[in-house]
Amino acid sequence: MNSNSPRSFVVTVLIVLLFASMAACAKKSVAPTEEETDVVKVEEVAGIEAEEEKEGMAAADEGMGSAELLDTEVIVEAEAKPLEGRTTPGLLPVYFDFDKSVIRSDQVARMEANAAFMKENPTVKIQIEGNCDERGTNEYNMALGQRRAMSGKNYLVNLGISERRISTISYGEERPINFGHDELSWSQNRRNDFVIIK
């Protein structure tokens, strides 16, 4: 037992020293070499530049997206806004439903604005031009255009405008302002134009 004690003691001391040196190595930070430092700096700079470039591109895309969105909104608004036909500035054209000659409720304000313009300009005489879309025969559309023009005239007379100041004519489908073959085009061709003649 005595012969084993010094050996056990030495083994124990060696184990303790081994653990102590391992613990010291774990705590000790190894300073990077100059090459490693340069690589780290280059990677950091590259990372920062890449991030800035990414942010710049995102901002540019966002800015371009806004510009494109504005352009798109303008285009959509231009497509949705009625063309003013051959109506004289100061007056407004009036639009009709398909195959109808009755003034729509959403067109009443336009008729009232036209009546107000004529009251403010008592010497002005106008011609109401009835127009149709391309659907239907020429004869039918000429008659429909005339009914539309007369509907506009009667409305103005009911608002206090003398009928002697208003003449009517039908162009049927002969004078479209939008040459497409879709509902937007047709809806803009179904109208009365109000044209000052004197």
Which pTM value belongs to this model?
Answer: 0.58
Amino acid at 74: V
Structure confidence at residue 113 (pLDDT): 97
pLDDT tens for each residue of 33-79? 555 555 445 455 455 555 655 555 544 444 444 444 444 343 334 34
CATH code, residues 94-196: 3.30.1330.60
The C-alpha atoms of residue 24 and residue 18 are separated, in whole angstroms, by: 10
How many other CB atoms sit within 10 Å of the CB of residue 188? Answer: 21
Higher-scoring residue by pLDDT: 2, 70? 2
Residues 6 or more apart whose CB falls under 8 angstroms from that of 90 comprise: 117, 121, 196
Question: Angle at which helices 138-158 and 108-120 pack, to 10 degrees?
Answer: 60
In terms of C-beta density within 10 A (0-12 exposed, 13-18 middle, 19 or more buried), how is residue 159 classed? middle
The C-alpha atoms of residue 168 and residue 147 are separated, in whole angstroms, by: 10
pLDDT tens for each residue of 106-158? 999 999 999 999 999 999 999 999 999 999 999 999 999 999 999 999 999 99
Domain ranges for the chain, please list them: 34-81, 94-196
Strands 166-172 and 126-131: parallel
